[in-house]
Amino acid sequence: MLTRVFFGISLTAFLFNAAFAQDAGQWIIPNSAEANFTHVYNNGNSITWSWQGMNHSLSDLWLTSYDPTLSYALRVAANINITGPGTLPWTITVNDTQIDIDDRFCLRFVLTGTDIFPFQTDQFPSPAFLILQQGQTLPATTASTSTASATSTSTASSQTTTTISSSSSTSSSSTPRPPSKPTLSAGAKAGIGVGAAAVFLIILALLFVVLRLYRRVKAASNQHSQGIIPEHSEGTSPTTPSTLPVIKQISGLHEALGDRRHPTELSVKQEKAVVHELPG
């Protein structure tokens, strides 16, 4: 199974490099003997492209993106006889927006009347070069990176299946792994569990206290209501007090208790009346 996968990768890489490899001995400017991205131009420069004879009849010259996925193409000239050596002066005119997207380009000859897409191996692609905006210079770091990229591209065409698989495994191993998520210690987990249990018990205690207070308030309210409105037995209605006087009758006669002593006769002293006659 792995052998088939490696074979498929190798075949794909071979076809890709074959589709975009230089056709040695065809181009003079840019020089086919030099690596990709050796030549750097600025937008607005006047360049004279030159080539040797190619096995084509009337063709159109196109400026295309080096990356086939971008599908950028600009026709430079049409109906050119390329069966023998030739030259073509041209002032580079590329949209700055396209340069911002990708500044890597190459030239292609396509039979007149045929579509440029998809890119084919019989389109005689030139070595890839860079086109910068007017007045823009290539940084030294970018130039060294471009040279290294061109060298690795030319070397990749001669790599074997084992080399391709090795580079794939190297790139996979160099991919940074996502940082592992921090885990809680056993003590922290135990503390969280105890805290959760304590909170649960506190909530239960509060509910119990609230319930008891509610019952006490309800009982006191009932007693207060009974003191104001007397309860009556079911089926009877409270009687209104009568305004008529109530006469209570007592059966039988009862003698009031009095002084049981017998009456006695008081002694009376009779005094004689003394009459004195006044002298007249």
Residue 192 token pair: 């969280």
- Reference 83, options 116, 111, 47; nearest CA is 111
Contact 46, 76 (CB under 8 A): no
Q: Which residue has the tokens 């996925």?
A: 69
pLDDT digits (tens, 9 = 90+) for 64-104: 999 999 989 999 999 999 999 999 999 999 999 999 999 99
Q: Which residue has the tokens 């840019």?
A: 30
pLDDT class of 157 with cuts at 50, 70, 90: very low
Contact 68, 18 (CB under 8 A): no
Q: Is the pLDDT of residue 57 over 60?
A: yes
pTM for the model stands at: 0.44
Which residue would you say has higher pLDDT here, 56 or 163?
Answer: 56
> Where do the domains of the chain lie, and which CATH numbers do they carry?
2-144 (2.60.40)
pLDDT digits (tens, 9 = 90+) for 253-270: 555 555 566 665 555 555
Q: Is the pLDDT of residue 36 over 90?
A: yes
Residue 225 token pair: 């209501």
Q: Is the pLDDT of residue 119 over 60?
A: yes
